[in-house]
């Protein structure tokens, strides 16, 4: 397959005003996406949503103009979680959906990602088709064929009702004290209402976005303040969403973080026990080895996809399974949503807690994770270094020493100029030692 010029693991992403993420590029991208995706449904309409970054205003206007020049209509949703845009794309029978977001990245980055008319991530072929269209001369359809733009004012309310609908009608969250961290991102006006309207006693943090504070000292990438507030308020648990709302991590009543692997296992075990698990579970190359071991003990098949929720989705569809995700908190249940959804995933775990009559801490204890040391090394030529023979040889040597008690993983980030070095081992000291050895090898290269 031809190598992509702009698209990474999850859409197109970069520093605002840098090589790619400019208003001019977004204008051209809007036209190219309109040409390729506009005809996926008879509506000839594409939904556009964004997170709370200040640059979202600029990219929203540029994309809308580009789509109009291609003769495609726009439905503007304003600040909305990524999974909400996927759901709205499908429910409104739109041709495609566009999300303006850089997910968990800081405010000075932004990105543009797409959903097809089913609310699913684009195929490689569709992304390559958009890139091919980008290389063509910018043209505009005749004036009478220009696309129109319309703002949808009740999008948040519609999505709140969808989220509440995945929670059993005969149950309630009454009696649960929850702290919700919205990461000053796209869920700030949605997540609190979902949990409050389902009956929980909710304390909210990270719900005052100013365009610059998204993911800053908050959310699923920095849950320290959430951990502190859970302890201070005596809450039963905390819920940490990321900037665009497609990830979730949780915090138990002791203030300890429960990651995506543990949350997936909790749900999978409950589904399996109640004969509601279709097939097995899909994780990624980064999924903790403990999950693979504990699922096998239950007789649940487990497969690893490449890192990225789109690859988890592809493997789930291929096997006709429904449940999977990443340790970072991207969790997919294809019976409920077409993409990772932080709010829906948190609700799944809360249902398990209610049905099992257990605290989050008790459920998480059933999967003791192997210590995992991850070192992120900022480097421009990460892809080349990841394939270097010296680094590969060193990693294989460590794998041989660890045997079945650990493993290494070296991969270039698909969204940032970064090489990720991971060592997992039952012995944490060994994991630290080997991770530092690999880091030194990278630095020498």
**Among candidate residues 97, 102, 103, 101, the one with its CA nearest the CA of residue 76:** 97
Q: Are 342 and 241 in contact (CB under 8 A)?
A: yes
Instruction: Please name the residues in contact with 404: beta carbons below 8 A apart, sequence gap of 6 or more.
Output: none
430: left (phi over 0), alpha (psi -120 to 50) or beta: alpha
Rounded-to-integer distance, Cα 178 and Cα 133, Å: 47
Least Cα distance to 264 among 183, 323, 184, 182 occurs for: 323
d(Cα 38, Cα 20) in Å, to the nearest integer?
23
| Cβ density class 182-218: b for 16+ within 10 Å, e for less | bbbbbbbbbbbbbbebbebbbbbbbbebeeebbbbeb
DSSP states of 95-125: SEEEEE--TTS-TTEEEEEEE-TTS-BPPHH
- What single-letter DSSP state applies at residue 247? B
| Cα dihedral 298/302/308/310 (nearest 10) | -110
| Residue 103 designated active-site | yes
Residue-by-residue DSSP string for 194-228: HHHHTT-EEEEES----SS-TTTT-STT--HHHHH
Listed in sequence order, the residues at least 6 apart from 388 whose beta carbon sits closer than 8 Å to its beta carbon are 445
Q: Contact 101/82 with Cβ under 8 angstroms?
A: yes
Q: Which of 90, 103, 345, 413 is catalytic?
A: 103
* Cα distance between residue 80 and residue 44, in whole Å: 22
Backbone angles phi, psi at 399, to 5 degrees: -60, -40
How far is CA 272 from its chain centroid? 25
Contact 293, 424 (CB under 8 A): no
Q: Which residues are catalytic?
A: 103
């Amino acid at each position: 397959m031809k190598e992509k010029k702009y698209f990474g693991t999850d859409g197109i992403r970069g520093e605002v005003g840098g090589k790619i993420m400019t208003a001019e590029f977004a204008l051209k991208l809007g036209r190219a996406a309109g040409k390729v995706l506009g005809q996926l449904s008879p509506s000839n309409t594409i939904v556009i949503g964004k997170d709370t970054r200040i640059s979202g205003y600029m990219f929203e206007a540029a994309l809308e103009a580009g789509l109009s020049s291609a003769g495609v209509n726009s439905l503007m949703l304003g600040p909305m979680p990524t999974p909400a845009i996927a759901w709205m794309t499908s429910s409104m029978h739109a041709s495609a959906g566009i999300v303006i977001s850089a997910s968990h990245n800081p405010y000075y980055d932004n990105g543009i990602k797409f959903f097809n008319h089913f609310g699913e991530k684009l195929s490689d072929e569709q992304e390559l088709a958009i890139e091919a269209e980008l290389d063509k001369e910018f043209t505009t359809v005749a004036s009478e064929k220009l696309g129109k733009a319309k703002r949808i004012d009740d999008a948040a309310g519609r999505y709140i009702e969808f989220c509440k609908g995945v929670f059993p009608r005969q149950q309630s969250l009454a009696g649960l004290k929850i702290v919700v961290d919205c990461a000053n991102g796209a869920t700030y006006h949605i997540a609190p209402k979902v949990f409050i309207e389902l009956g929980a006693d909710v304390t909210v943090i990270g719900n005052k976005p100013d365009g610059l504070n998204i993911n800053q000292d908050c959310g699923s990438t920095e849950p320290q303040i959430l951990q502190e507030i859970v302890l201070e308020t005596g809450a039963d648990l905390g819920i940490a969403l990321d900037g665009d709302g497609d990830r979730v991590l949780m915090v138990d009543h002791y203030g300890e973080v429960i990651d995506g692997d543990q949350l997936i296992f909790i749900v999978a075990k409950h589904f399996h026990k109640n004969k509601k698990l279709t097939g097995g579970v899909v994780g990624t190359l980064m999924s903790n080895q403990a999950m693979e071991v504990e699922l096998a003990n239950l007789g649940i098949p487990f497969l690893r996809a490449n890192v990225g929720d789109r690859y988890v989705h592809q493997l789930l569809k291929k096997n006709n399974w429904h449940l999977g995700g990443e340790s970072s908190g991207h969790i997919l249940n294809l019976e409920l949503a077409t993409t990772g959804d932080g709010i829906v995933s948190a609700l799944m775990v809360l249902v398990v807690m209610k049905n099992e009559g257990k605290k989050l801490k008790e459920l998480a204890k059933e999967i003791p994770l192997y210590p995992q040391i991850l070192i992120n090394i900022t480097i421009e030529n990460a892809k080349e270094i990841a394939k270097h023979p010296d680094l590969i040889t060193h990693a294989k040597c460590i794998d041989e020493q660890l045997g079945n008690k650990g493993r290494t993983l070296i991969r270039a980030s698909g969204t940032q100029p970064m090489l990720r070095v991971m060592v997992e081992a039952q012995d944490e000291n060994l994991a630290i030692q080997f991770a530092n050895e690999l880091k030194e090898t990278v630095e020498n290269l």
